[in-house]
Structure 1
Amino acid sequence: DKGILKMYPASPDEIGTVTDIARSMLLQVETLTKQLKHQATTDFLTGLGNRRALMEQMPIIRAKAARPEEAVSLILFDLDHFKRINDEYGHDAGDNVLMAIGEAVKDHLRPYDYAARMGGEEFCIVLPGADLAAAESVAERLRHAVESRVVEPLPKGRITGSFGVAQARPTERLQELLLRADAALYSAKDQGRNVVVRAQP
C-alpha cells in the first residue's frame, strides 16, 4: 500500500540490508543449482561424467570439431569378467576397481578429452582432434594401464578391459557411433578379451 510506504519509508540502511540478503540468497541458489547439475551429470564412484553428461557434451564437441573439420574419435571399453570380481571378492572390491579405473582414465586424458562411465563397468572416452589411428594408440596405452592396476585383494593382472575404437563420420549421430564402437568392443571380447579392436568403417 502506497500510503503505508509514505508513512513508514525505508531508510537507506534497510534497503541496503534487504539488497544484501537478496544477493546472498541468489548466490546460494546459484551455488545449489551448480551442485545439483554436477550431481546429475557426474558418476559418484569414478568422478567421471555419466551417460547423460556424454549425451549433452557430444553435440558441443562435434560442433567445435566441425569448424576446422577435425576428426573426432571414441573409445568404448568395459572391464572383463567384472561380475566375477563382485562375486569372488565382494562389491566393495568391485567399487574400488571402478574407482581405480576412473583414475587410470583421468591419467590418460588430454585437457579437452571427455570421459564418462556409461553404467556398470562400461566407459566411454571422446577424443576431439584424434583420427582412428591416434585413438587406437590411446586405447592401447589405456588397456595397458588397466591391466597394470593392482587393487587388493585382487592379484596383479586380474583387471583387464576390452576396447572398441571408432572415428565419427561427418554426419554420424552419437547413437550410431556408439553402436559401431560397441560392435568393435564385442569383437574384442570374441578375440579373447584384453585387446583393442577398430570399428568397421
Structure 2
Amino acid sequence: MQRLAEFIQESRTWSRAVRGTDLLRRVAYALRHHLDIDAGIFIYKRRFLRNHLGQLDTSVRVYESWGMAGHREQLESLVQTSKWCLGTPSFECSGVWEPIFALPHNWQHHFERSGIAHVGAWPVLDVDRVPIGAMVLGRRQGSVIHDEDVLSVCAEQVSLIVELLVERRKAEDYSRRDPLTGIFNRRGLLHFLPDVQADAKSSGAGIVVGVVDVNSFKRINDEYGHARGDDVLLDIASTLSDAIGQHGLAARFGGDEFVFLYSAPGVTAEQVRQEVIDRFQAKPYEVCVGCVFWIEEMDWPMCLDAADAHLYARKGYAEQRREHV
C-alpha cells in the first residue's frame, strides 16, 4: 500500500509536464519505481506537431522504452506488426496481463531477451474516447500482480493530460499565426527562425531575408474599403507562401508588411527578390520587395533592418521612375 500511495502522490505531478515527452518520462519513472513494472513502452500517434514548413507529423512513434532489448528505432519499426497497433493506426488494448506467447513472434523475441513473461497494454484515449496510443508494459518471470485496475486509472490520467497538452499546442500554434491570413506572425517567425538556420547549415545553403509591402495600401483601403484591403493581404500571403514553398517561411508582421526567409544553395538576394516580384506581376495591386543575403556578421535585427532599408530604397527608385514617365 505504501508504494501505491507513493505512486498516487507522484502522479499528481504529471500535470506539470509541458510536452508529451516530458509527461511520458514522468509516467515511466512512476511505473518503474512505484509499481515495479519491469519493462514498458508508450506507442503514440503524434498529433498537431507542425514544423516551420507547416507540415504535420502524424506518425506513430515509440517513447520512453525501458527494460527491453533493442533500441527505440528497432521497436518503432515493429509497431505496425504488433497486436496493439493495427495499421490505420487503430489501437487495440486488452487492459490485462497476458503471457508473451500471445504476441507476434518478433515481439516475443524482444520481450524474451529481457526476461519478460507477461505483457499488458492499456489504451491512451483522445477526448472522443478513440484510442490514439497504447501503454505497453511487461513483467518478469514470477507471479503477476493483479494491478490492472490501477494501470487502467493510470492510462486514463495519461489520456486526460495528453489532451490538455494537445490543446496547449493548438493555442501555441494559434498565437504564432496571423489571424487574418493564417501565415506566421512575428512571434511565429522568430520561434521557427532557429529551425530555418539549422536546415540551412546542414544543407550548406544560404538564407535570404526579404520584406514585402503594398504600394499605396492606404489608398486601396480608402477608395475600396477595408474588405478589399483584407482581400489584398490574403492574396499576398497566399502568393508569397507559394513563392517560398519548401525553401523557408513567410510571415505577416502587421499592416501590409510581410517578411520572409528563403534558403537554398547558391541563391542570391537579387535572384530571390526577382522571383518574388515575378509572382506579383499580374496582380491588380503593386508590391515592393527588399532582400538581403544573411551573412554571419549580422544578427537578426541587423538583417531585418537591412532588408527594410533595401525595400525603401527600391520603393524610392520606383517612385522616381513613375515621376519621369
TM-score using structure 2 length:
0.50
Paired with 1:37 and 1:98, the residues of 2 have a C-alpha distance of 23
In the alignment, which of 25, 44, 55 is matched to residue 160 of structure 2?
Answer: 25
Shift of 1:171: 2.9
- Structure 1's consecutive aligned runs of 4 or more residues displaced over 4 angstroms after TM superposition are 11-14
RMSD: 2.5
Residue 127 (str. 1) matches residue 253 (str. 2): no
How many Å separate the matches in 1 of 2:265 and 2:216?
A: 29
Gaps of 5+ in 2: 6-145
CA gap 1:77/1:131 in 2 versus in 1, 3 angstroms: farther
Q: Work out which structure has the larger RCO, using CA pairs closer than 8 Å and 6 or more positions apart in sequence.
A: 1
- The one-letter amino acid paired with 1:26 is I
Residue in structure 1 matched with residue 226 of structure 2 by the alignment: 91
**Change in 2 beyond 3 A, CA 1:60/1:13:** closer
Would the alpha carbon gap of residues 130 and 77 (structure 1) be closer, same or farther in structure 2, given more than 3 Å must change? farther
Unaligned segments of structure 1, at least 5 residues: 6-10, 150-156, 196-201
Identity of aligned residues (%): 27
* Structure holding more helix per residue: 1
Secondary structure in 1 matching 2:259:
strand
Task: Give the number of aligned pairs.
Answer: 178
> Structure 1: how far apart are the matches of 2:299 and 2:227?
37
Q: Deviations over 1:19-44 (max 9, x none)?
A: 34312211211211111111111112
Which secondary structure state, in structure 2, belongs to the residue aligned with residue 18 of structure 1?
A: helix
Deviates more, 1:52-61 or 1:41-50: 52-61
* Paired AA for residue 287 in structure 2: G
Pair member with larger Rg: 2
TM-score (norm: length of structure 1): 0.77
Question: What displacement does 1:57 show?
Answer: 2.1
Is the 2:262–2:272 Cα contact (8 Å) retained in structure 1?
no
* Comparing 48-57 and 78-87, the one that deviates more: 48-57
Q: Which has the higher strand share?
A: 2
Which of 196, 201, 205 is the equivalent residue of 1:61?
A: 196
> Residue 179 in 1 paired to residue 305 in 2?
yes
Q: CA-to-partner distance for each residue in 1:39-94, whole Å, 9 max, x for gaps?
A: 11111222211111222222332344345653211111111111111111111111
Shift of 1:183: 0.6
Tell me what 2:271 maps to: 137
1:79 and 1:45 mapped to 2: Cα distance?
A: 16
SS in 2 for 1:148: coil
